[in-house]
Structure 1
Amino acid sequence: MTSEPPLVLDIDGTLTDAAGRLDPRVFAHLQAWTAPVVLATGKAFPYPVSLCHYLGIEPTVIAENGGVVLAAGAVSYQGDRERAQAAADAFVERGGDLGWDGFDAVNEWRRTEIAVNLDADEELLREVAAEYDLEVVDTGYAYHLKTPGVEKGVGLEAVAEALDRDPDSFVAIGDSENDVSTFGVAGRSYAVANADAAAREAADLVLDESYFDGTASVLEELGSRAE
């Protein structure tokens, strides 16, 4: 009998349904998982921490595409939020629009980067980002203005060290460009069927099922091996 492996799971598109809602089956699957579960997301830090709280699992988080890492009770930050904010301001001054009307919950609690709506002028955004020595990552849900070299995969290496685990022991599941670095660090990686081209190319296996249906199929298979 083998033990369950530690997991590193993207949230949007991976633990959700097509409408972006958290699949209710996530609770049973992750609450029963005996190994560490890492939530790795492009969302601002409070979102995955809150999800861990309501799932009732130890908060182990890679947020903001690797900009914030929480593991073994310690938080670390990477990425230059001030430079990202300056680039976002310049983008707006040149006629760009961040695209979040009213209260900007997308960026209100973001510590290391700025997220821009996918309806924004991508060409202008990338032009401004280059001037500020920043990169733009398209997660399928937003463009992220971020510091080069800050990635989910680097965050996973930090988490593995904090948990005294081999990064190669982790199983990763994701759906987009920002999961590619995670796939490169984890020992086994899966892209759900709704994944973008970059994630599909980088994954060890592309699943037949989309969204949490795909993720659940992996968890059930891994769980059955551990029985």
Structure 2
Amino acid sequence: MVPPLALDIDGTLTTPSGRIDPRVFELLPGWDAPVVFATGKAFPYPVALAHFLGREETVIAENGGVAYVGGETTLVGDPDAAWAVVEAFRERGGAIGWGDGDTVNRWRETEVALGPDVDAGLLREVAAAAGDDVEIVDTGYAYHVKSVGVSKGRALRVVAEALGVDPAAFVAIGDSENDASTFGVAGESYAVANADAAARNAADEVVDDGYMNGTVSVLERLRERDE
């Protein structure tokens, strides 16, 4: 049997230009084990991906702030504390960085995400002044202001329990600091070649290829192991 998967999206199931790699639609619909999409994006994004793949909508969003499995939602985190940091950041001249509309945060429930080009030094300074309950996570695609203790790894334990699956049965693939906690919970973990230092250091193995190429190499290996 192939193992259950915990898959990051950005940088892991995408091309270098940020598009969903079409091979996702070839390899994942028929994966004969649970697939959990674990992302820093807001809840609608991984739900939509699961939907269009024809898979159960089993997802982790907002870096673990949202876990959804079997129609049940678990929310963890203090969005008011995150927004208080962002407002203090704005008062000191900072900007969220997404331009008009800000669809990045429109459906976000447990944290706030700021653009990758914002003044990260100022943001971290403001967050540190707010106390020990809020932290900044840099995924390479956004700076996330979130509650301390919220993580994809914690959420994977919640999802695994709901599925009746041992968390150690999962194989996790990712590319970023926010995937390190998932790697610590899953029994087997891989960082794609474009991964940041935190993900590379936490993974059991760093594969030779980046983005979806790296993920495909892991999935092919897992299928061969099953044969």
Deviations 1:112-151 (A, max 9, x none): 0000112111111011112333100000001000000000
Question: Match for 1:162: what amino acid?
Answer: A
Give runs of aligned pairs for residues 77-156 of structure 1, distance below 5 A. 77-132=75-130, 133-156=133-156
- For residues 211-222 of structure 1, the aligned pairs below 5 Å read 211-222=211-222
Per-residue deviation at 1:215? 0.2
Rounded Cα–Cα distance in structure 2 between residues aligned with 1:84 and 1:7 = 30
| Aligned-pair CA distance for 1:56 | 0.6
Residue identity (%): 64
Please name the residue that 1:45 is paired with. 43
- Separation in 1, partners of 2:128, 2:60: 25
- For the residues of structure 1 that align with 2:48 and 2:84, how far apart are their CA atoms? 29
TM-superposed deviation, 1:90: 1.0
CA distance in 1, matches of 2:68, 2:126: 31
Determine helix, strand or coil for the equivalent of 1:107. Answer: helix
1:8 pairs with 6, 9, 14, which one?
A: 6
Helix, strand or coil at the partner of 2:104: coil
- Partner AA of 1:194 in structure 2: N
- In the alignment, structure 1 residue 185 sits paired with structure 2 residue 185: yes
> Which letter maps to 2:181?
S
Look up the match of 1:17. Answer: 15
Secondary structure of 1:184's partner? helix
Q: Tell me how far apart the structure 2 counterparts of residues 9 and 58 of structure 1 sit (CA, whole Å).
A: 14
Runs of 4+ in structure 1 deviating by more than 3 angstroms, as ranges, are: none
SS at match of 2:159: helix
Pairs aligned (count):
225
Partner residue of 1:208? 208
**Rounded Cα–Cα distance in structure 1 between residues aligned with 2:208 and 2:225:** 20
Matches of 1:82 and 1:74, distance apart in 2 = 23
Structure 1 position 194 matched with structure 2 position 181: no
Task: Give 1:156's aligned amino acid.
Answer: L
Gaps of 5+ in 1: none
Identify which range, 216-225 or 11-20, moves more after superposition: 216-225
Structure 2 runs not aligned, ≥5 long:
none
The corresponding residue for 2:68 is: 70
**What is the TM-score of this pair, normalised by structure 2?**
0.98
What are the superposed Cα offsets for residues 169-227 of structure 1, whole Å, 9 maximum, x if unpaired? 00000000000000000000000000001101110000001100000111111112212
Distance in 1 of aligned mates of 2:217 and 2:30: 15
Cα deviations across residues 39-84 of structure 1 (Å, max 9, x unaligned)? 0000000000011001110010000000000012211100011111
Aligned AA for 2:199? A
1:23 and 1:187 map into 2 onto residues whose CA distance is 26
Find the aligned partners of 2:222 and 2:183 in 1 and give their Cα distance.
17
